[in-house]
Chains A and B, each alone.
Chain A
Amino acid sequence: MTKVGKPEKLIVNGKRLDGRDLEEFRPITIEVGILKKAGGSAIFKFGGTYALSAVYGPRTLHPRHLQDPRKAVLRCRYAMAPFSTTERVRPGISRRSVEISKVLKEALSNVIFFEDYPKTGIDVFIEILEANASTRCAGLNAASLALAEAGVPMKDLVSACSVGKVDGKIVLDVANEEDMYGEADLAIATVGGEDKIVLLQMDGIVTKEEFMKMLELGKKSCAEIYKKQKEVLKEKYKTGEEDVSD
Chain B
Amino acid sequence: MVSEVLVKERQLVIPGETLAIGLDYLPGNGCFREDNKIKAKLLGLARIKDRFISVIPLAGVYKPRPGDGIIGFVEDIQTTFWIIDINSPYSAILPLGEAVSEYVDLSKTDISIYYDIGDVIYAKVLSVSKSKIVQLTMNDYRARKLLGGRLLKITPTKVPRLIGREGSMVELIKSKTNCQIIVGQNGVVWVKGEKESLAVEAILTVERESHTIGLTDRISKLLEEKQNY
Distance A72 CA – B60 CA, assembled complex (angstroms) = 14
- Is B89 touching A39 in the complex (CB atoms < 8 A)? no
B216 adjacent to chain A (CB < 8 Å): no
- Residues in A with CB closer than 8 Å to B30 are 153
Q: Contacts A69-B131, A234-B12; is A151 near B61 (CB within 8 Å)?
A: yes
- Is A155 touching B15 in the complex (CB atoms < 8 A)? yes
- Residues in B with CB closer than 8 Å to A111 are 15
Q: Which of A56-64, A93-101, A125-133, A166-174 contacts B (4 or more CB under 8 A)?
A: A56-64
Contacts between the two chains (Cβ within 8 Å), count: 92
List the A residue with the shortest CB-CB distance to B41.
Answer: A153
- Residues in B with CB closer than 8 Å to A234 are 12, 14
- Is B157 touching A151 in the complex (CB atoms < 8 A)? yes
- Is A153 touching B42 in the complex (CB atoms < 8 A)? yes
Closest 3 CB pairs of A and B: A151-B60, A156-B16, A151-B59
A149 adjacent to chain B (CB < 8 Å): yes
- Is B43 touching A240 in the complex (CB atoms < 8 A)? no
Interface residue count for A (Cβ, 8 Å)? Answer: 34
Pick the contact of A118: B59, B91, B131 (CB < 8 A).
B131
Q: What is the 8 Å Cβ interface bit string for chain B, positions 78-94, against chain A (1 contact, 0 not)?
A: 00000000000111000
Contacts A/B (CB < 8 Å), 13 sampled: A58-B61, A60-B89, A113-B32, A117-B63, A118-B132, A119-B132, A151-B57, A151-B60, A155-B41, A157-B15, A191-B16, A233-B14, A241-B10
A239 adjacent to chain B (CB < 8 Å): yes
B58 adjacent to chain A (CB < 8 Å): yes
- Residues in A with CB closer than 8 Å to B15 are 111, 148, 153-157
Spell out A's residues near B (CB within 8 Å): 39-40, 57-60, 69, 111, 113, 117-120, 148-157, 191-192, 230, 233-234, 237-241, 244
List the A residue with the shortest CB-CB distance to B14.
Answer: A233
- Is A239 touching B10 in the complex (CB atoms < 8 A)? yes
- Residues in B with CB closer than 8 Å to A149 are 43, 59
Distance A35 CA – B45 CA, assembled complex (angstroms) = 23
- Is A57 touching B61 in the complex (CB atoms < 8 A)? yes
B39 adjacent to chain A (CB < 8 Å): yes
Q: Contacts A153-B30, A155-B16; is A117 near B59 (CB within 8 Å)?
A: no
List the A residue with the shortest CB-CB distance to B43.
Answer: A148
- Residues in A with CB closer than 8 Å to B34 are 155
- Is A230 touching B89 in the complex (CB atoms < 8 A)? no
Pick the contact of B32: A155, A157, A238 (CB < 8 A).
A155
Distance A59 CA – B62 CA, assembled complex (angstroms) = 10
Closest Cβ–Cβ distance, residue B185 to chain A (whole Å): 16
Pick the contact of A59: B14, B16, B61, B63 (CB < 8 A).
B61
Pick the contact of B91: A57, A60, A156 (CB < 8 A).
A60
Q: Which of B110-118, B143-151, B207-215 contacts A (4 or more CB under 8 A)?
A: B207-215
- Residues in A with CB closer than 8 Å to B57 are 151
- Is B89 touching A113 in the complex (CB atoms < 8 A)? no
- Residues in A with CB closer than 8 Å to B211 are 237, 239
Closest Cβ–Cβ distance, residue A123 to chain B (whole Å): 12
Q: Which of B82-133 contact A (CB under 8 A)?
A: 89-91, 131-132
Q: Contacts A119-B132, A151-B61; is A239 near B213 (CB within 8 Å)?
A: yes
- Residues in B with CB closer than 8 Å to A233 are 14, 43
Distance A59 CA – B61 CA, assembled complex (angstroms) = 8
**Given pairs A155-B34, A156-B15, 15 additional interface contacts (CB within 8 A):** A40-B59, A57-B89, A117-B89, A119-B90, A119-B132, A149-B59, A151-B59, A153-B30, A155-B15, A155-B16, A238-B212, A239-B10, A239-B212, A241-B10, A244-B213
